């Protein structure tokens, strides 16, 4: 009887439903328990920029990325995290900037949850070589009676290698020997530095060869001093209707140092050329005296002289003359200053009596000006006015008749 009841219970629908629910619960707990064993970890991985074409430099702002990975707890126990890597593939890319994905390389069973940043900015720059001559800048000063007869720099130039855009900013290579060491004689080993638009020093990513050079100076003995006059060298011709009336050189003489036999042959020195092309007014410039080529001569003093060219209009006896005069600004305005475009105008004058000669044109005898009183526009065209301070002169023509004024900010 009891067996019949047990058999009826085991074969009943209620029992089978209970068993099914129990098996389902066991399967669910197994699956849930297996998923619960997965854990997450956050790592920082260095970025490896790979496959750049030969002759290119890689410039990047991201050195590493933050990576979050997931895997079974037991897998993490055997996983060598230090061997995980992140790479950016540069294969086939030319010069330029790129936005590229950061690819994380993971072993089987490890899942990538996130990577930050997902993309990185990379710039590829072509690597080039450039040869620069070496310039010597002396530290300290040489005595007046000290002169260099022969200066040997070995090598006389250096080679730099680096990104094309960086090397374009390199101006020159410098060595900075001490004057006292050169006077003492012997060979000097000097470090080479690079001069860029931002200062002195090798930029990042630039290689320099050689980094040091040898310098040897041979000094001249038994030198003497001599004072010689300076003659201005002027090239070009002034504006038509003008001539150079006077040339002034200040100081008019300079002192030179050299071997007595050489100084005997030097009676005067000329300046570097001063260009007078198109001049219609006085000009003053500072220039260096030109020393004889191949001669052991040194200039004492500041090394520059002032050359002034006094320019005056030419009276050709026709009773007419063309002047090129600067435009003056007169009157009170709401703006502190003005700029005239063009800044000079041409004025043709003649004799008021109709004769063939004009009076001597002194300073400000003829003036050109514009009146800015009550002007409020920042840019405006105004008529040119001429002031003649002599009854013997009359104005025939003004070109241009109007100029454009631009208000200048304080």
- Choose one of 161, 194, 220: the last residue of a domain: 220
One domain, residues 195 and 230: no
Same structural domain, 208 and 227: no
pLDDT digits (tens, 9 = 90+) for 65-99: 999 999 888 888 788 888 888 999 998 888 888 99
- Give the lowest-confidence range in 41-50, 195-204, 390-399: 195-204
Residues 345 and 400 in one domain: yes
208 lies in the same domain as 138: yes
Nearest to 135 by CA among 192, 181, 58: 192
Cα Dmax for the chain: 161
pLDDT digits (tens, 9 = 90+) for 110-136: 888 999 999 999 988 888 888 889 998
Residues 101 and 154 in one domain: no
Q: Do residues 299 and 225 touch, judged by C-beta distance below 8 A?
A: no
pLDDT tens figures, 204-256: 678 888 999 999 888 877 788 889 999 999 999 888 778 887 899 999 999 88
22 within domain boundaries: no
pLDDT on residue 18: 66
So what's the pLDDT on residue 165?
A: 78
| 19, part of any domain | no
Q: Are residues 133 and 193 in the same domain?
A: yes
CA–CA distance, 59 with 57 (Å, rounded to integer): 7
What pLDDT score does 263 carry? 86
Is 257 in the same domain as 307? yes
Which two tokens mark 122?
A: 């990379």
Question: Is 249 inside a domain boundary?
Answer: yes
Does 9 fall in a domain? Answer: no
Q: Examine the domain organization and report whether 252 and 302 are in the same domain.
A: yes
CB 220 within 8 A of CB 259: yes
Tell which of 291, 313, 335 closes a domain.
313
Are residues 357 and 385 located together in one domain of the fold? Answer: yes
Q: β-strands 223-231, 269-271: how paired?
A: parallel
- Say what the pLDDT of residue 199 is: 63
188, 220, 252 - which closes a domain: 220
Whether 210 and 161 map to the same domain: the answer is: yes
The answer to the question of residue 187 being in a domain is yes
Question: 153-167, 186-200, 254-268, 389-403 — which is least confidently predicted?
Answer: 186-200
CATH number for the domain spanning 112: value is 2.170.120.30
Report field, pTM of the whole predicted structure over 0.75: no
- Pair 131, 188 in one domain: yes
Mean per-residue pLDDT over the chain, rounded:
83
Give residue 308's pLDDT band: very low, low, confident or very high (50, 70, 90). very high
Q: Is the pLDDT of residue 8 over 70?
A: no
The domain spanning residue 284 has which CATH number? 2.170.120.40
Domain tally, the chain: 4
Most confident segment among 219-223, 300-304, 386-390 = 386-390
d(CA 222, CA 149): 12
Q: Is there a domain that residue 25 lies in?
A: no
Same domain? 202 vs 263: no
Write out the chain in H/E/C secondary structure: CHHHHHHHHHCCHHHHHHHHHHHHHHHHHHHHHHHCCEEEEEEEEEEEEECCCCCEEEEECCCEEEEEEEEEHHHHHHCCHHHCEEEEECCCCCCEEEEEECEEECCCCCEEEEEECCEEEEEEEEEEEEEEEEEECCECCCCCCCEEEEEEEECCEEEEEEEHHHHCCEEEEEECCEHHHHHHCCEEEEECEEEECCEECCCCCCEEECCEEEEEEEEECCEEEEEEEEECCEECCCCCCEEEEEEEEECCEEEEEEEHHHHCCCCCEEECCEECCCCCCCEEEEECEECCCCCCEEECCCCCEEEEEEEEECCCCCCEEEEEEEEEEECCCCCCEEEEECCEEEEEEEECCCCCCCCCCCCCCEEEEEECCCCCCCEEEEECEEEECCCCEEEEEEECCEEEEEEECC
**247: in domain:** yes
Q: Which domain holds residue 197?
A: 127-220
Specify if 171 maps to a domain: yes
Lowest mean pLDDT among 139-148, 172-181, 266-275, 391-400: 139-148
335-384 pLDDT, tens per residue? Answer: 888 999 989 888 888 887 776 666 666 667 889 999 999 888 889 999 99
């Amino acid at each position: 009887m009891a067996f019949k009841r047990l058999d009826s219970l085991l074969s009943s629908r209620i029992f089978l439903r209970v068993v099914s629910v129990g098996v389902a619960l066991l399967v669910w707990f197994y699956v849930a328990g297996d998923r619960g064993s997965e854990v997450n970890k956050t790592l920082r991985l260095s970025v490896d920029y790979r496959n750049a074409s030969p002759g290119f430099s890689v410039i990047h702002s991201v050195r590493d990325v933050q990576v979050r990975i997931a895997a079974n707890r037991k897998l993490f126990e055997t996983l060598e995290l230090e061997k995980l890597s992140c790479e950016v593939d540069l294969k086939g890319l030319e010069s330029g900037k790129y936005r590229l994905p950061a690819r994380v390389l993971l072993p089987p069973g490890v899942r990538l949850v996130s990577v930050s940043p997902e993309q990185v900015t990379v710039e590829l720059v072509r690597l080039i070589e450039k040869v620069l001559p070496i310039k010597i800048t002396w530290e300290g000063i040489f005595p007046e009676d000290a002169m260099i007869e022969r200066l040997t720099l070995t090598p006389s130039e250096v080679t730099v290698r680096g990104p094309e855009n960086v090397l374009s900013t390199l101006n020159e290579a410098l060595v900075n020997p001490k004057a006292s060491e050169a006077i003492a004689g012997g060979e000097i080993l000097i470090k080479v530095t690079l001069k860029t638009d931002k200062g002195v020093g090798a930029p990042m990513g630039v290689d320099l060869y050689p980094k040091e050079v040898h310098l040897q100076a041979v000094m001249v003995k038994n030198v003497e001093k001599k004072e010689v006059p300076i003659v201005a060298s002027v090239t070009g011709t002034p504006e038509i209707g003008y001539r150079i009336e006077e040339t002034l050189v200040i100081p008019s003489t300079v002192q030179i140092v050299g071997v007595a036999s050489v100084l005997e042959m030097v009676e005067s020195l000329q300046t570097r050329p001063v260009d007078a092309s198109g001049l219609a007014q006085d000009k003053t410039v500072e220039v260096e005296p030109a020393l004889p080529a191949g001669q052991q001569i040194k200039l004492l003093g500041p090394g520059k002289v002032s050359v002034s060219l006094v320019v005056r209009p030419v009276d050709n006896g026709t009773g007419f003359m063309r002047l090129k005069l600067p435009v003056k600004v007169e009157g009170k305005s709401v703006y502190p200053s003005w700029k005239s475009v063009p800044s000079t105008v041409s004025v043709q004058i003649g004799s008021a009596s109709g004769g063939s000669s004009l009076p001597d044109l002194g300073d400000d005898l003829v003036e050109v000006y514009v009146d800015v009183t009550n002007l409020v526009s920042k840019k405006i065209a105004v008529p040119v006015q001429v002031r003649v301070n002599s009854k013997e002169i009359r104005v025939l023509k003004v070109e241009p008749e109007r100029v454009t004024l631009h208000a200048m900010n304080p």
